[in-house]
Amino acid sequence: MTQQLIVLENRNDLDFMEVGCPVVHVDDYLTGQEYFKLKGVQVINLCRSYRYLSVGYYTSLLAEARHHRIIPTVKTMMDLSSKAMYSLESINLDEVVQKSLRKHRKDSIESLFEMDVFFGRCRYPGLTDLASDIFETFPCPLLRIKFRRQENWHMESIKPLSVNKLDSYNQKFFIEALSSYLQRRWRLPRTRSLARYDLAILHNPDDALPPSDEKALNAFIKAGKTLDVDVELIDRSDYSRLAEYDALFIRETTRINHYTYRFAKKAESEGMVVIDDPQSILRCTNKVYLAELLRAHRVPTPRTVILGKRDLKAAEKAIGYPMVLKVPDGSFSQGVYKAENPEQMQEYTELLFKTSELILAQEFLYTEFDWRIGILNREPLYASQYFMSRKHWQIVHYGNEGKVEMGGWKTWAVEDVPGDVVTMALKAADPIGYGFYGVDLKQTPKGIYVIEVNDNPSIESRVEDKVLKDELYLRIMKEFVRRIDKRRML
DSSP per-residue string spanning 32-43: -HHHHH--SEEE
pTM across the whole model: 0.69
Say if residues 322 and 340 touch (Cβ distance below 8 Å). yes
Residue type, 359: I
- Give pLDDT, residue 193: 63
Of 9-23, 38-52, 178-192, where does mean pLDDT reach its minimum? 178-192
- 381 pLDDT band, cuts 50/70/90, is very high
Distances from the Cα of 128 to the Cα of 99, 142, 163, 248, 263, angstroms: 13, 15, 21, 27, 19
* Distance between CA atoms of residues 407 and 398, nearest Å: 12
- 21 pLDDT band, cuts 50/70/90, is confident
Q: Mean pLDDT, the chain, as a whole number?
A: 87
Q: Which domains, from first to last, does the chain contain?
A: 3-78 (3.40.50), 79-167 (3.30.470), 197-276+474-489 (3.40.50.20)
Residue 163 has pLDDT above 50, yes or no: yes
- 86 pLDDT band, cuts 50/70/90, is low
- 257 pLDDT band, cuts 50/70/90, is confident
Query: Between β-strands 229-234 and 197-202, what pairing exists: parallel, antiparallel or unpaired?
Result: parallel
Please tell me which residue, 469 or 20, carries the higher pLDDT value.
469
Residue 187 has pLDDT above 90, yes or no: no
Digit-coded pLDDT (tens) for 428-470: 999 999 999 999 999 999 999 999 999 999 999 999 999 999 9
Count Cα neighbours of 258 within 13 Å in the Cβ-side half-sphere.
16
* Distance between CA atoms of residues 249 and 198, nearest Å: 11
Q: What is the DSSP letter of 433?
A: -
Please tell me which residue, 153 or 204, carries the higher pLDDT value.
204
Digit-coded pLDDT (tens) for 319-340: 999 998 987 765 544 668 889 9
Residue 306 has pLDDT above 90, yes or no: no
Say if residues 473 and 222 touch (Cβ distance below 8 Å). yes
For range 104-111, the mean pLDDT: 78
For range 127-147, the mean pLDDT: 90
Please tell me which residue, 240 or 205, carries the higher pLDDT value.
205
Residue 353 has pLDDT above 90, yes or no: no
For range 361-380, the mean pLDDT: 94
- 89 pLDDT band, cuts 50/70/90, is low
Residue 188 has pLDDT above 60, yes or no: no
- 422 pLDDT band, cuts 50/70/90, is very high
Say if residues 114 and 147 touch (Cβ distance below 8 Å). yes
- Give pLDDT, residue 332: 46
For range 163-186, the mean pLDDT: 87
Residue 37 has pLDDT above 70, yes or no: yes
